[in-house]
């Protein structure tokens, strides 16, 4: 893990894990609908023994905000658990595992997280991972982590049953705002979309904070930039398995009919977009980042709000929503008519009947306009027997020493078919077909 990325990763992956910020419904789904490990005793992080040689001390993420929110929701929408379970299962689209080569089919969880399958080892051990443009490291849980540390997970990598395993042993640590994972590196064969990468270094997670151990996915597939060993994507390119150092995302929306979400490795898939790409050059060498000239919203009364001039923005596939500076974003949400959710920092809710009248979010980048409509930026989720509509933009505070970096998460990405062109250091946007 490149620790200089820690600040950048501040919000990365939160969507997998929820807690203070978002994806509340996701965690609810985790807790009610999917519990293969029901029998395993859950231990609080604090009581876990240090398993690495060097104990890692990090602030324990607070679960309080999440608990409060959950309680608020329960009081507002009391429903029996069985009914909920059905709703969750209906909302999580079925996942067809026979994807064609180079396409990775992605499973959509409540529009807040997309994951797909990879394998590690010989014979293959399968893992469900989140594909993360915001971080470089690929990691999965290790069999050497005691099972009670894994929450709801059940897949672990077993080096002893892989004939292609090679020891590495160097520690890795991926630290995020609200959680972390740590363990050691190993090397093995990795397959993704039918492509086989040899001698791939990856992380075996030994310790995961609750945020990760409660996640529905097993691990993370890093599509970011690494200054250390080559990422899986780098090796796909280095080992000649891809025609071009490009990957592209088509992300579906649960309430709009269309094909399953797909990550295409090595190029773009014309089945999922129309027209030409608008390209924007990257403004950083180590992230999928460009600079926004302006973020503009024209309110229904004609007032125009501008913010974010000259701010860096990262296109981040493991953040559910858009994040900008808290004070300004909170003002915007209020002006749009959203109400703050009690007991929660910067999460706002819309009346679902008003979505059609909401204005577009417009990002101006390099003279080009990237526009997303309310049907994309509002996170609408059927939960507790009713639709809930969360504002798709949340505020975040940065330390004075940090540059405020906008995060353009999955709701932004759904509005476009997006190609990430590592060779030309640019990101391309096209109109999705669905």
Ligand X SMILES: *[C@@H]1O[C@H](CO)[C@@H](O)[C@H](O)[C@H]1NC(C)=O
Where do contacts with ligand X occur on this chain (CB under 6 A)? Answer: 96, 98, 144, 159-160, 165, 167, 198-199, 239, 281, 366
d(C-alpha 306, C-alpha 107), whole Å: 35
Which residues does 63 contact at the CB level (< 8 Å), separation at least 6? 19, 210
d(C-alpha 266, C-alpha 385), whole Å: 42
Nearer to ligand X, 75 or 98 (CB): 98
Instruction: Given the residues 111, 132, 260, 376, select the one marked as catalytic.
Output: 132
Nearer to ligand X, 239 or 311 (CB): 239
DSSP class of 5 = G
Closest separation in Å from C-beta 177 to ligand X: 29
Closest separation in Å from C-beta 159 to ligand X: 4
What b/e string do you get for 297-332 counting C-beta neighbours within 10 Å, with b at 16 or more?
A: beeeeeeeeebbeebbbbbbbbbbbbbbbbebbbeb
Q: Among 185, 132, 171, 139, which residue's Cα sits nearest to residue 9?
A: 132
User: Collapsing DSSP states into helix, strand and coil, what is residue 4?
Assistant: helix
Nearer to ligand X, 165 or 172 (CB): 165
Closest separation in Å from C-beta 195 to ligand X: 12
Closest separation in Å from C-beta 276 to ligand X: 15
d(C-alpha 181, C-alpha 141), whole Å: 9
Nearer to ligand X, 41 or 169 (CB): 169
316 annotated active-site: yes
Instruction: Given the residues 103, 177, 218, 316, select the one marked as catalytic.
Output: 316
Closest separation in Å from C-beta 174 to ligand X: 19
Closest separation in Å from C-beta 305 to ligand X: 26
DSSP string, 104-168: EEEEEETTTEEEEEEEETTTTEEEEEEEETT----EEEBTTS-GGGGTT----B-GGG-TT-EEE
First to last CA, the chain: 36
Torsion from C-alpha of 408, 138, 204, 405, nearest 10 degrees: -30
Cβ 109 vs Cβ 26: under 8 Å: yes
SS (H, E, C) 151-205: CCCCCCECHHHCCCCEEEEEEEEEECCCCEEEEEEEEEEEEECCEEEEEEEEEEE
Q: Among 119, 111, 115, 113, which residue's Cα sits nearest to residue 95?
A: 115
Helices (H) and strands (E) in the chain — how many of each? 9, 26
Closest separation in Å from C-beta 78 to ligand X: 36
Closest separation in Å from C-beta 198 to ligand X: 4
Q: Which two tokens stand for residue 229?
A: 């060993």
Catalytic positions: 132, 316
């Amino acid at each position: 893990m490149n620790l200089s990325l820690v600040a950048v990763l501040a919000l990365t992956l939160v969507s997998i894990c929820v807690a203070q910020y978002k994806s509340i419904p996701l965690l609810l789904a985790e807790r009610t609908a999917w519990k293969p490990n029901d029998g395993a005793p859950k231990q609080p992080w604090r009581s876990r023994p240090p398993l690495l040689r060097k104990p890692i001390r990090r602030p324990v993420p607070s679960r309080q905000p999440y608990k409060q929110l959950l309680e608020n929701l329960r009081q507002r929408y009391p429903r029996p658990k069985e009914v909920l379970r059905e709703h969750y299962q209906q909302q999580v689209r079925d996942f067809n595992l026979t994807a064609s080569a180079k396409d990775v089919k992605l499973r959509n969880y409540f529009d807040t997280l997309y994951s797909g399958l990879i394998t590690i080892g010989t014979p293959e051990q399968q893992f469900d991972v989140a594909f993360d443009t915001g971080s470089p490291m690929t990691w999965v849980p290790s069999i050497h982590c005691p099972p009670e540390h894994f929450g709801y997970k059940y897949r672990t990598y077993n080096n002893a049953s892989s004939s292609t395993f090679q020891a590495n042993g160097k520690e890795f640590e991926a630290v995020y705002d609200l959680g972390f994972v740590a363990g050691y590196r190993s090397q093995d064969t990795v397959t993704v979309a039918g492509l086989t990468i040899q001698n791939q270094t990856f992380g075996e997670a030994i310790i995961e904070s609750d945020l990760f151990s409660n996640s529905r996915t097993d691990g993370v597939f890093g599509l970011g930039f690494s200054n250390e060993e080559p990422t899986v994507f780098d090796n796909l390119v280095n080992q000649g398995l891809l025609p071009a150092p490009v990957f592209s995302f088509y992300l579906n929306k649960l309430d709009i009919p269309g094909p399953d979400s797909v990550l295409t490795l090595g190029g773009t898939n014309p089945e999922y977009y129309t027209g030409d790409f608008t390209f924007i050059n990257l403004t950083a060498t180590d992230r999928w980042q460009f600079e926004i000239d302006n973020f503009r919203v024209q309110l229904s009364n004609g007032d125009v709000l501008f913010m974010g001039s000259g701010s860096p923005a990262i296109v981040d596939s493991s953040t559910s929503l858009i994040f900008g500076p808290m004070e300004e974003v909170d003002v915007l949400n209020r002006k749009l008519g959203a109400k703050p959710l009690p007991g929660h920092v910067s999460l706002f809710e819309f009346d679902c009947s008003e979505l059609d009248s909401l204005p577009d979010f417009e990002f101006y980048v390099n003279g080009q306009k990237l526009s997303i409509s309310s049907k994309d930026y509002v996170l609408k989720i059927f939960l507790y027997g009713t639709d809930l509509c969360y504002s798709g933009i949340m505020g975040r505070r940065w330390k004075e020493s940090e540059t405020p970096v906008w995060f353009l998460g999955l709701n932004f990405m759904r509005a476009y078919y997006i190609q990430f062109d590592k060779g030309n250091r640019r990101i391309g946007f096209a109109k999705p077909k669905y």
